[in-house]
Amino acid sequence: MDIAELRKRSVIFSALDEEEAATVLKMARMVQHPARHTVFQEGEPGDHLLVVMQGRVKVSLVSQDGKEAILSILEPGDLFGEMALLDGEARSASVTTMEPCSFLVLWRRDFLPFLERNPRVALKLLAALSKRLRATNDMVGNLSFLNLPARLARILINLGQQYGKLTAEGIAIGLKLSQEELGNLVGVSRESVNRQVRHWVEAGVLDYTHGTIVLKNSDLLFREALNSER
């Protein structure tokens, strides 16, 4: 991603002109990690935030017995690690790469004085945090009020909107997800997701091969997503 792309996609850079963006880049360092690398774990101290430049990461909570709840999937332009940087508390969640990734790293000692000098960036950051809270509220609402088919249908529709490509077979989601990860996104076991997915594969609603999902009947998924009180 070059500076122009960064200014289009990242909340930090979108409020800056080219010269200001170059100044921020000078404070930052690039790091790279392979797929399935733990960038940091919930509970660790944190004095830096990261902007995704390449690849995707998942933000998750892991229970004592190793169960995972996926809070969000982030892609190029998105940032994470800002919470510990801003409030000085421990990392609120774990972040793991889903693909080979590169990140821009910004440290508290540079970023906080920069925010004080650039209230436009601070406002953009507040708006991004509000958007994140809305998405989390949606997730809590869905968990509390919707049955499994509706929750899974909504997640698949969202993934289709975010990562989908139109193909002859339908909307192919360009993100490999295991059934376990799908379950962790929806808040149910792999077995329950497996049953529902198998039912939809047999009914021609979708295809699921080696982690790649193709949505073949989006109308039916939309109906499932709406038809939903627990």
**Considering only 15-23, 85-93, 165-173, 185-193, which stretch makes contact with ligand CMP by CB under 6 A?**
85-93
132 forms part of the interface with ligand CMP (CB under 6 A)? yes
In the bound state with ligand CMP, the residue whose beta carbon lies nearer, of 84 and 186, is 84
Tell me the helix, strand and coil percentages in the chain, rounded to 5: 50, 25, 25
Q: Which of 82, 148, 184, 214 binds ligand CMP (CB under 6 A)?
A: 82
Q: In the complex, what is the shortest distance from the CB of residue 228 to ligand CMP, in angstroms, rounded to a whole number? A: 22
51 forms part of the interface with ligand CMP (CB under 6 A)? no
136 forms part of the interface with ligand CMP (CB under 6 A)? yes
- Candidates 133, 44, 125, 118; CA nearest to 82 is 125
Report the alpha-carbon angle 35-37-41, nearest 5.
145
Q: In the complex, what is the shortest distance from the CB of residue 205 to ligand CMP, in angstroms, rounded to a whole number? A: 28
Backbone angles phi and psi of 44, in degrees to 5: -75, 155
Q: In the complex, what is the shortest distance from the CB of residue 151 to ligand CMP, in angstroms, rounded to a whole number? A: 16
162 forms part of the interface with ligand CMP (CB under 6 A)? no
Q: What contacts 212, CB < 8 A, 6 or more positions away?
A: 172, 173, 176
Would you say 186 and 193 are in contact if contact means Cβ atoms under 8 Å apart?
Answer: yes
Residues 89-108 that bind ligand CMP (CB under 6 A): 91-93, 95
56 forms part of the interface with ligand CMP (CB under 6 A)? no
**Long-range contacts of range 17-23, CB-CB < 8 Å, 24 or more positions apart?**
20/118
Helix (H, G, I), strand (E, B), or coil: what is residue 98? coil
Positions that interact with ligand CMP (CB under 6 A): 46, 59, 71-72, 80-84, 91-93, 95, 132, 136
